[in-house]
Chains A and B, each alone.
Chain A
Amino acid sequence: NAGVTQTPKFRILKIGQSMTLQCTQDMNHNYMYWYRQDPGMGLKLIYYSVGAGITDKGEVPNGYNVSRSTTEDFPLRLELAAPSQTSVYFCASRGNGGNQPQHFGDGTRLSIL
């Protein structure tokens, strides 16, 4: 029972490099979310998706892009990595009916040097 799977778990990037953080879920959830977590700041929503082909900005979208070509996958793209993007990134998904809670992956710890 995999749930929400994020890869990689750790990554170090140089300033200006690009990378994609992968997120996949096997629960057939329409709703998916990307957060970043910084110490003492809680989780901030970067982007979210309500279904394949539909995405929208969250609270802190600058410097990131997303796509949602399938129900299962919701990758997060950093085009020009900056030190301010050093953070822990969490992907989450949520069931379709009623007021379902979000289910989280284990996170990707990203350092930009």
Chain B
Amino acid sequence: AQSVTQPDIHITVSEGASLELRCNYSYGATPYLFWYVQSPGQGLQLLLKYFSGDTLVQGIKGFEAEFKRSQSSFNLRKPSVHWSDAAEYFCAVGVNAGGTSYGKLTFGQGTILTVHP
């Protein structure tokens, strides 16, 4: 079975600083990878996704993520953080939906991002 680890429970950065949130996955084949963001009291919003092809994917709100097969990682990055980026971020892994997985996702524990002015 697949698993996802987000090693950092809480990260604090200053506004304007760069950001990298770590995500490591465990899965036997090429996974489908997602990053979601959750603002307080809200549902999860998709930031970006990786299925195949170019290993650097661009998402909404200026975020990007890089798939590194050799490191089993899918880290999320942003060059300059804004105060509105303060939220909780979840990495998720899915398997081939054509099989018996039915598009199910396994989520990491989440990383809470605090942004200082």
Contacts and interface: CB of A to CB of B under 8 A. Distances in A.
Interface stretch (B14-22, B40-48, B70-78, B79-87): B40-48
Interface size range of chain B in the complex: 20 to 34
A100 interface: yes
B34 interface: yes
B108 A106 contact: no
A105 B44 CA distance: 8
Interface string A34-54: 000000111111001010000
A74 interface: no
Contacts of B105: 43, 45, 102
Contact of A101 (B9, B49, B104, B109): B49
A42 B104 contact: no
Contact of A90 (B32, B44, B108): B44
Interface in A56-78: 56, 58
Contacts, number: 58
B42 A40 contact: no
A100 to B, nearest CB: 7
A90 B104 CA distance: 14
Contacts of B94: 99
A71 to B, nearest CB: 15
Nearest to B96: A99
Contact of A40 (B32, B46, B97, B110): B110
Interface of B: 4, 9, 32, 34, 36, 41-46, 49, 51, 90, 94, 97, 102-105, 107-110
Query: When A and B form their complex, which 8 residue pairs have the shortest distance between CB atoms, in order from nearest?
Result: A104-B43, A42-B107, A104-B44, A43-B107, A106-B43, A42-B109, A101-B46, A99-B51
